[in-house]
Structure 1
């Protein structure tokens, strides 16, 4: 429990679990175990069996593709989703790698148990997971187009806003390595872009910590993908505070 008595691992902190009927969520609760998300922790690797799925409550996890040279991020997952989507889609292994990028907390479920619960709760859990899958398709599509069609500082502003949404805070730790992966650029380019946003009064960036100083101003720099992805998510899974 936190100092105010709140449960830091309350399933309602994850939008998939929050969208379930209360009886379904209560059924799942004993099958979910608290899991601390630490930066760099590998959640699954290419070609290896996915042993567990994760429902972040706070924090950011990445799905990355390891190319012959660089590592490129293809999607991120926070409190709106689940890490381990291939399990829901009936695949035991993944072609990508998933790891934690921004520290947080999650609820972990054994992959076989999750498969069982999908069958047992045929209806509510499957329907919510289908809606999340659709929102992930939107994110993947926008990410692919965003890399080619939008400027680096626009994409950077978008990623910072998405991270702030998932952390429920305008201050969070974010390394240059992570930003470079998110933006598919060199670290030197990250320094230039972050410096430009800082000079404009949008953010403060020091020793791996980002502070958003003016969210409205940062929004003016962000590409349209931020709005599209957020609206797609809100349309498929209810925002926090609307759990049954």
Structure 2
């Protein structure tokens, strides 16, 4: 494949690396396209490949007695599979799959581990990223415990909006209900309420963000902390 230039990479984590650290990864990065619902990491299976999203969004889910519920969201700011590989657990009970299709750069787990062993600075950056994921996860717990459905949905829409270009999200009500662990009827009502308040515009399989400030108010502190921690530790967009 063509020689990848760090300046043209759309993944924020890769762009934040020093030129020397990026050079350690560059020969092993493979560009790929993804399809919606494509599984990247299976639960309780060895992680062989990791993925730097450039376009699109990946959901990290955990299984419950009633199905799956989302516990994490990764886009162009991150790395899918970072925790099990870098923390040397090799596998995870969580599943990662494509929520919004796009493009990614993949790298073998063995190659990433070798690069990390060679560069403490690369290791430090990736561990800082894992920390931001942990903060995001703790706020997901808070949102599910303390917020009503409109508040949780507002946070989720803001996080998706951060990871796409433009103000339109290609999402179905069915997918939203699965990710938030509620019935589709509840999602439909929550979207209607958000639209009625001028926060979004909802059409079939499309949601347009109209007023982020109003969504942030509903999110009630569950959005913004993890994002600020990423900016502090990794860098601004």
| TM superposition score normalised by structure 2 | 0.91
Aligned pairs for 1:143-162 within 5 A: 143-162=140-159
The separation in 1 between residues aligned to 2:72 and 2:201, in whole angstroms, is: 25
Structure 2 contact 59–72 (Cα < 8 Å) conserved: yes
Structure 1 contact 57–104 (Cα < 8 Å) conserved: yes
The separation in 1 between residues aligned to 2:208 and 2:138, in whole angstroms, is: 28
Please state how far the C-alpha of 1:79 moved relative to its aligned partner: 1.3
The separation in 2 between residues aligned to 1:137 and 1:224, in whole angstroms, is: 16
- Tell me: CA distance 1:55–1:225, structure 2 relative to 1, closer, same or farther (3 Å): same
The separation in 2 between residues aligned to 1:11 and 1:181, in whole angstroms, is: 35
Specify the alignment match of 1:4 in structure 2: none
The separation in 2 between residues aligned to 1:182 and 1:237, in whole angstroms, is: 27
Specify the alignment match of 1:43 in structure 2: 40
Specify the alignment match of 1:190 in structure 2: 187
Deviations 1:38-81 (A, max 9, x none): 21000011122212000111211111111222211111111111
Question: How many residues are paired up?
Answer: 233
Structure 1 contact 48–93 (Cα < 8 Å) conserved: yes
Deviations 1:133-190 (A, max 9, x none): 1101101111112101111101111111111111132112012233223322111111
Specify the alignment match of 1:171 in structure 2: 168
Corresponding residue SS for 2:230: helix
Specify the alignment match of 1:25 in structure 2: 22
Structure 1 contact 46–97 (Cα < 8 Å) conserved: yes
Structure 1 contact 11–17 (Cα < 8 Å) conserved: no
Structure 1 contact 63–76 (Cα < 8 Å) conserved: yes
Specify the alignment match of 1:109 in structure 2: 107
1:213 aligned to 2:227?
no
Corresponding residue SS for 1:239: coil
The separation in 1 between residues aligned to 2:169 and 2:186, in whole angstroms, is: 20
Please state how far the C-alpha of 1:8 moved relative to its aligned partner: 11
Corresponding residue SS for 1:226: coil
Please state how far the C-alpha of 1:9 moved relative to its aligned partner: 9.3
1:60 aligned to 2:60?
no
The separation in 2 between residues aligned to 1:9 and 1:39, in whole angstroms, is: 27
Please state how far the C-alpha of 1:216 moved relative to its aligned partner: 2.8
Structure 1 contact 157–223 (Cα < 8 Å) conserved: no
Structure 1 contact 146–155 (Cα < 8 Å) conserved: yes
- Tell me: CA distance 1:198–1:9, structure 2 relative to 1, closer, same or farther (3 Å): farther
1:224 aligned to 2:221?
yes
CA-based RMSD of the aligned residues comes to 1.9
| TM superposition score normalised by structure 1 | 0.89
The separation in 2 between residues aligned to 1:128 and 1:11, in whole angstroms, is: 20
